[in-house]
Amino acid sequence: MTDFSYLDRLAEQSKDEVDRLLERAQYYIKQEDTSQALTNFVDALNAYAKFAKHYTDAITIKMPIDINVNPINSAKIYSRTLFDVCDILAGIRLCYADSVTQAFLENKLQVILEALAEYKSVFDVQQLKMYDDLKKGVNKKKEHIERNREAIEKLKKTSIKELEDQRLAKIRSALDKISSTEVCPVTLDSTGACFIATAAYSTSTHPDIETFRNFRDKKLLTNPVGQGLVSLYYKISPSIANYVKRQPVIKSFLRQQLERLAKWMRSRKVKS
């Protein structure tokens, strides 16, 4: 029988690195050095993206992560990921001075709060307290989020390559990687805003997704009707993507259809 214990070791080692960076961030917070604290929080989020990948590999070899097949264990796994990411994002938000970026991060915490509500039945007492604290914090920031809603939506549509703030680019890249893993039940970010395709493929770097992005950029965004369709897609696709991520059968079926579509588009040179 194959020994997969090395997968557990990889997950443990990567989580140790996350914890080390978070301890450093907290140290700099106490020293009132928010710049160094922010650097370590951002590095911790990127380290967590690696952990999420290793953790997914270690878990899926033992049992399915599927809310329909394995509801209790899956809910616990999802909750752990969301609470972990929430903790890191809260630290990052604390260190950021830019109001729009703060609102952008607060919106991410809002998304996490909404996702966590689905799994409250499996929370332990500590998680219940964390959930209540998160809810209070998000409610206090709702007005700030709404005041910056237009700027937040614009930021969401901006590709990572176009971002001037390299720290924010690293944050969004890490959230995209975390979102593509099976231990994360929601799409927290997508590097090319192809939310549904990213959910179906469990990655944002598949060649088919690049085909869809090229079609969007070269065909849809070059005319008013296409721009309207893209705008509508941005509004409705995150919730659809989150549903797809939690439904393996639908996810598999959708990927098959998207693979056929991408192949047809390339054969017809639709992307160019």
**Residue-wise pLDDT tens digits, 120-173:** 999 999 999 999 999 999 999 999 999 999 999 888 888 888 899 999 999 999
- Cα four-point dihedral sign 192, 193, 194, 196: positive
Q: Which of 84, 90, 93 is nearest to 167 (CA)?
A: 93
CA distance linking residue 121 with residue 131, whole number of Å: 12
What's the token pair of residue 103? 């609102």
- Mean local confidence (pLDDT), 46-74: 92
With a cut of 90, say whether residue 251 has pLDDT above it.
no
Which tens digit of pLDDT belongs to each residue from 8-24? 999 999 999 999 999 99
CB-based burial label for 41 (10 Å; 0-12, 13-18, 19+): buried
Q: Which of 150, 182, 214 is the last residue of a domain?
A: 182
Rounded to the nearest 5 degrees, what angle is found at the Cα of 19, between the Cα atoms of 117 and 238? 35
Q: Which amino acid is at 236?
A: I
Is 113 found in the same domain as 67? yes
Structural domain range at position 138: 1-182
What's the token pair of residue 37? 């604290």
Is 205 found in the same domain as 161? no
Residue 251 has phi, psi (to 5 degrees) of -60, -45
Tell if the pTM clears 0.85, that is, is over it: no
CA distance linking residue 66 with residue 72, whole number of Å: 10
Is 59 found in the same domain as 194? no
Q: What is the mean pLDDT of the chain?
A: 89
Is 43 found in the same domain as 159? yes
With a cut of 60, say whether residue 51 has pLDDT above it.
yes
Count of structural domains within the chain? 2
How many other C-beta atoms lie within 10 A of the C-beta of residue 145? 18
CA distance linking residue 61 with residue 63, whole number of Å: 6
Helix, strand or coil for residue 35? helix
Of 20-34, 83-97, 133-147, 246-260, which gets the smallest average pLDDT?
246-260
- Mean local confidence (pLDDT), 196-211: 77
